Amino acid sequence: MKKALKELIDNAPRRDCGEYAYFLLIPTTEQYCGFWGKNNYNNIIVLGYDKTEKKHYRLDSVCGSDDFGVAQIYATHIDVPREYGCLRMHFSEPVSVDYPASSVLAYGKRR
């Protein structure tokens, strides 16, 4: 794991709800063993970037998350920022997350 990404994860406060411009998706080597029990998936760390606050927040569940889903989205782009070395999903419009659990679900705004 890159040093900049580790620092970002270590310093990102947890938040349950909010609107985000993009997400960093970081796979871990730990097996998911949360709400649904072991299921042959690894935990993922999800960081959301709040454009208004110019800050990253940690969105995955404290007990582990094994899935990240986005519904009702507009243009979506996936890239790998060199400084972090993980997947980044960003959107043409902000998306919101409400109460992450074993699955983190993000929703686009309806027009």
Give residue 60's pLDDT: 81
Domain boundaries, the chain: 3-108
Measured CA to CA, the distance from residue 73 to residue 14 in angstroms comes to: 24
Total-model pTM: 0.81
Averaged confidence pLDDT in the chain: 84
Measured CA to CA, the distance from residue 103 to residue 61 in angstroms comes to: 8
Per-residue model confidence as pLDDT tens digits over 24-55: 999 888 887 776 677 788 888 899 999 999 99
- The residue ranges of DSSP E strands in the chain, in sequence order, are 17-31, 42-50, 55-58, 67-71, 76-79, 87-98, 103-108
Mean pLDDT in each 10-residue stretch from start to end of the chain (111 residues)?
Answer: 94 90 90 75 90 92 77 82 92 78 64 45
Residue that has been written with the tokens 């042959």 in this structure = 40
